[in-house]
Amino acid sequence: MAIFSVYVVNKAGGLIYQYDNYVPRAEAEKTFSYPLDLVLKIHDEKVVVSFGQRDGIRVGHALLSINGVDVNGKFTADGKEIIEYLKDSTNYPVSIRFGRARLSSNEKLMLASMFHSLFAIGSQLSPEVGSSGIEMLETDMFKLHCFQTLTGIKFIVLADPRQSGIDALLRKIYEIYSDFALKNPFYSLEMPIRCELFDQNLKGALEIAEKAGNFGPGS
Amino acid sequence: MTVHNLYIFDRNGSCLHYGEWNRKKQAGISKEEVRQEAQLIQLKDGFLTFQTSKYKLHYYETATGIKIIMNTDLGVPNAKDILHQIYSTLYVEYIVKNPLCVLGEQLSSDLFSTRLDLYIRALPFFSPRAA
């Protein structure tokens, strides 16, 4: 899946739509014996690795499950505190799965507003006159493309760095937004988008984009 | 194709160096805000560059927290190697190895400034535009 997710941000910077494509995340499951040679810390209600990177387990990875049972924040499924559980040598050997933590909806909302501000700062920082906001942001793992409409709505697409044709995709998403969200009499402007036809057509457009097709007239 | 300007920040966010070559418009925000943006960007691991319709911003952060930010025009491809070169052959050689330079303050080494200027002007994509 080369297109990871789509976000739509309204004029005020609030997230009004988000869609995630399934992405196989890097996860590692290993069996550990006492004492644990990783240093763990609590960050944002999750247990993350702070030191001791090895074997596919990297700093920043969150603890996802213990002995096959998914954890609940910083507690195990039965309510025991994870850090205390791992300090007790009688619980070993233990099989722990680490991986990148999935973003919660709150975190996504926060990141959308953060991007909204960065977008504005991007146009202020410009050494040339008449610059737009951030159109493309690149990291080693993904590329983020942003298209701002004349009314201030931002369509943001996160994709593989090698994926092409995202500009056409952004325009297509804008078209789908105006057809299935704006023309929907029950949809209020700037509010979260809950239109089934919008979802369906968006998924269809993403599939076409991934197959590197061009959007024909009337598609 | 041209380089507009270059900032170097330390791990606390103080601006160590600023150089400009081709700048049409002053930043609408102060250095303080550039620093804040640098710190926001730092949160995103592995961030390399972003571009708008008129310029491209390249970012390089070392393991010690030194951040090098370069604004160029859109024609420049990935400048990560160039920023790495600036760090290893200029910053480390002329600043870190200089016993008189206090790290964490504005860089006052003339040799560093002139060498950096020469290096930027020698880049293949640098061409001074007619003002």
Instruction: Give the mean model confidence (pLDDT) for residues A102-120.
Output: 87
pTM value?
0.80
Instruction: Give the mean model confidence (pLDDT) for residues B33-58.
Output: 75
Tens digit of pLDDT for each residue in A27-51? 888 888 888 888 888 887 788 888 8
Does any domain span residue B83?
yes
Distance CA A65, CA A84 (A): 15
Query: To probe the interface with A, which of B22, B53, B80, B120 has the most A CB atoms within 10 Å?
Result: B53
Distance CA B64, CA B74 (A): 29
Yes or no, beta carbons of B46 and A139 under 8 Å apart: yes
Enumerate the residues of chain A whose CB falls inside 8 A of the CB of residue B25.
126-129
Yes or no, beta carbons of A135 and B51 under 8 Å apart: yes
Does any domain span residue B67?
yes
DSSP result, A33-84:
-SSP-SEEEEETTEEEEEE--BTTB-TTPEEEEETTEEPBTTB-TTS-BHHH
Distance CA B7, CA A207 (A): 41
Q: What is the ipTM of this complex?
A: 0.77
Query: To probe the interface with B, which of A137, A145, A148, A166 has the most B CB atoms within 10 Å?
Result: A137
Question: Rounded to a whole number, what is the distance in Å from the CA of B3 to chain A's nearest CA?
Answer: 10
**Six-digit token pair at B79?**
């400048």
Does any domain span residue B128?
no
Q: Is A124 left (phi over 0), alpha (psi -120 to 50) or beta?
A: alpha
Yes or no, beta carbons of B51 and A136 under 8 Å apart: yes
Count of structural domains, chain B: 1
* Every domain of chain A and the residues it spans: 1-21+102-210, 25-97
DSSP state of A116: H
Enumerate the residues of chain B whose CB falls inside 8 A of the CB of residue A121.
29, 33, 37
Task: Return the amino acid letter for B8.
Answer: I
DSSP result, A140-161:
SS-EEEEEE-TTS-EEEEEE-T
Structure confidence at residue A169 as a pLDDT band (50, 70, 90): very high
Question: Rounded to a whole number, what is the distance in Å from the CA of A117 to chain B's nearest CA?
Answer: 10
Q: Closest chain A residue to B48 measured between Cα atoms?
A: A139
Nearest to A125 among B29, B40, B73 (CB): B29
Indicate the class that CATH gives domain A25-97: mainly beta
Question: Rounded to a whole number, what is the distance in Å from the CA of A179 to chain B's nearest CA?
Answer: 27
CATH for A1-21+102-210 is: 3.30.450.70
Percent of chain B clearing pLDDT 90 (strictly above): 0
Yes or no, beta carbons of A133 and B28 under 8 Å apart: no
Q: List the single range of A123-127, A138-142, A150-154 with lowest mean pLDDT.
A: A123-127
Question: Rounded to a whole number, what is the distance in Å from the CA of B127 to chain A's nearest CA?
Answer: 16
Domain containing B98 — which CATH number? 3.30.450.70
Across the A/B interface, how many CB contacts are shorter than 8 Å? 82
**Six-digit token pair at B124?**
């293949």
Give me the helix-helix angle, B31-42 and A105-124, nearest 10°. 150
Please give the pLDDT value at position B131: 34
Is the confidence at residue A217, as pLDDT, over 50? no
When comparing pLDDT for A210 and A152, which is higher? A152
Range of the domain at B72: 3-122
Yes or no, beta carbons of B25 and A134 under 8 Å apart: no
| C-beta of residue B126 within 8 angstroms of C-beta of residue B19 | no
Does any domain span residue B61?
yes
DSSP result, A164-194:
--HHHHHHHHHHHHIIIIIT-TTPPTTSPP-
The answer, for B25 touching chain A at a CB cutoff of 8 Å, is yes
Distance CA A100, CA A95 (A): 17
The answer, for B103 touching chain A at a CB cutoff of 8 Å, is no
Q: Can you tell me which residue has the tokens 């994870």?
A: A82
